[in-house]
Structure 1
Amino acid sequence: MLISTAYAQAAGGAGATGDLLQTFLPLILIFAVFYFLIIRPQSKKMKQQRAMIDAIRRGDKVITAGGIIGTVAKVKEGGEVQIDIAENVRITVIQSTIANVLSRTEPADKASNDSKKDDKKTSE
């Protein structure tokens, strides 16, 4: 007979665990690199953007994703914001399309408290 019979060698039980670790270790390392270099910074940036958008109030100067610069006139329910872009020109945009807040106004409560403190300082 020209073809001989080949028999598979029996694999040892102790070496299988080490081989499994060597097989999956590169995949685990790649996932860890992706997490720390891509996923984590992106989620942190999204969280900061969401906090900035949620903190928008009347009087803030903003820029939209379309490049329109204006002053917030009114924050409506349902995620809409009215922006003054020129004299007697007011547009309504979706709150999530605001790309950046250029300047912030002080909250009314804080501004009134500061003016009261200044009044007390001048009277003393």
Structure 2
Amino acid sequence: MYNLLNVLLMAPQGGAGGQQGMGWQTMLFFGGMILVMWLFMIRPQTKKAKQQKQFIDNLKEGDKVVTIAGIHGKVKKINDNNTLAIEVGPGTVMTMERSAISMEYTANVNKATETK
């Protein structure tokens, strides 16, 4: 029984017909690999990026958020230059990029406060 490496490295046996058959097998193999990579790697990343963008676009004043650095706060003001003013303590306001807000951390913190 051949393993995959032997099949790919094996010289075709039997003239021009064998060469053509091996070409199709190789093309199907690499096409399948590309399909699997797209299904399990590229597609989920683009889906997650879309969800993150939608989450950031739907932020509004008063939302409790967590940044990718782990800073907890409340959205005080949404600026026009793609930044947010976040209140991290009474009277302490930080200006951050919208992209610095973590969708996963924020969802986990909000879920934990809802269950209490």
- Choose the corresponding residue for 2:84, options 70, 81, 86: 81
Cα drift, residue 20 of structure 1: 1.7
| Percent identity between the two aligned chains | 33
Structure 2 counterpart of 1:57, one-letter code: K
Aligned equivalent of 1:30: 33
User: Which structure dedicates a bigger proportion of its chain to helix?
Assistant: 2
Take 1:24 and 1:99, find their aligned partners in 2: how far apart are those partners? 41
- Aligned ranges 1:59-98 → 2 under 5 Å: 59-98=62-101
Could you say what secondary structure the match of 1:74 adopts? strand
Could you say what secondary structure the match of 1:84 adopts? strand
Between 82-91 and 18-27, report the one with greater CA deviation: 18-27
| Higher Cα Rg, which structure | 1
The root-mean-square deviation of aligned C-alpha atoms, in Å, is 1.8
Take 2:15 and 2:80, find their aligned partners in 1: how far apart are those partners? 67
Aligned equivalent of 2:47: 44
Take 2:49 and 2:30, find their aligned partners in 1: how far apart are those partners? 27
Could you say what secondary structure the match of 1:83 adopts? strand
User: Which structure dedicates a bigger proportion of its chain to strand?
Assistant: 1
Take 2:22 and 2:44, find their aligned partners in 1: how far apart are those partners? 33
- Aligned ranges 1:5-16 → 2 under 5 Å: 11-12=15-16, 15-16=18-19
Q: Following TM superposition, where does structure 1 have runs of at least 4 consecutive aligned residues deviating by more than 2 angstroms? A: 14-19, 100-103
Take 1:88 and 1:74, find their aligned partners in 2: how far apart are those partners? 13
